[in-house]
């Protein structure tokens, strides 16, 4: 009986050690398998849907901007729908998330994570169309005599927080961070006391949450 219990304990220990060796905590040191990911589920499984050899395009990496651009992105296999937008890519083991397709200059843009953890952060630019009413005034009486709507492009910087487990990508606000940190009562109480939560304070809260709560992902 004693021998059986010892054997059972040894078997369970080996299984636990094997499971730990097959996964790792997600942080800035974690490396994803290189390739193209079509979904958040594929990313969490660390299993790309396609390898780099399966796509066409010319890549430009801008590490100082946490940015990757791929011009004329496409799939070599004609059986794959060319309109499929990749969810993310892994380059040098680091994840970059799709943020926009520039139709005029024909490139796909991806952005990397600034903070790595269960709560991660991203920053990227987006272009929006704005309409402004322009008026021409008569210098004699100061009254408008002509007007027209003018459309212009405007670049906006977006700051997002990514909940890695669910894939939810939300604006980086105190309210959203408190909602995502709801299972950490001490942290949410501390944030609630702050009338004006600046970006540095919110980032500190995110990093503190990631230290206390983490997610493990499989190693491949």
Residue ranges of domains in the chain: 25-112
Q: Which residues have a Cβ under 8 Å from the Cβ of 17 and sit 6 or more positions away?
A: none
Q: Could you tell me whether strands 94-102 and 88-91 are parallel, antiparallel, or unpaired per DSSP bridges? A: antiparallel
What does the pLDDT read at residue 186?
95
C-alpha torsion 53→59→65→66, nearest 10: -10
Confidence (pLDDT) at 129: 62
Residues 88 and 70: their CA atoms lie apart, in Å, by 12
- Number of DSSP helices (H) and strands (E) in the chain, helices first: 5, 11
For residue 122, give Cα distances in angstroms to 66, 98, 110, 114, 163: 9, 11, 10, 6, 11
- pLDDT value for 55: 96
Give per-10-residue mean pLDDT for the chain (220 aa). 45 44 93 98 98 96 94 95 96 96 92 97 80 78 77 82 96 96 95 89 96 95
């Amino acid at each position: 009986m004693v021998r059986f219990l010892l054997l059972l304990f040894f078997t369970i220990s080996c299984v636990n050690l094997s499971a730990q060796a097959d996964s790792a905590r997600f942080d800035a040191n974690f490396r994803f398998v290189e390739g193209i990911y079509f979904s958040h589920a594929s990313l969490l499984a660390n299993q790309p849907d396609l390898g780099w050899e399966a796509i066409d395009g010319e890549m430009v990496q801008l590490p100082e901007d946490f940015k990757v651009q791929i011009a004329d992105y496409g799939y070599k296999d004609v059986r794959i729908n060319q309109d499929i937008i990749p969810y993310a890519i892994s380059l040098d083991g680091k994840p970059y998330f799709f943020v926009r397709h520039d139709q005029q200059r024909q490139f796909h843009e991806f952005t990397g994570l600034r903070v790595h953890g269960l709560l991660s952060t991203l920053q990227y630019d987006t272009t929006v169309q704005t309409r402004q009413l322009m008026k021409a005034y008569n210098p004699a009486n100061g009254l408008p005599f002509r007007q027209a709507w003018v459309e212009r492009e405007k670049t906006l910087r977006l700051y997002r927080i990514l909940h890695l487990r669910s894939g939810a990508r939300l604006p980086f606000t105190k309210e959203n961070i408190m909602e995502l940190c709801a299972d950490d009562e001490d942290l949410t109480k501390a944030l609630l006391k702050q009338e004006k939560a600046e970006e540095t304070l919110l980032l500190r809260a995110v990093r503190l949450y990631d230290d206390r709560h983490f997610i493990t992902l499989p190693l491949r």
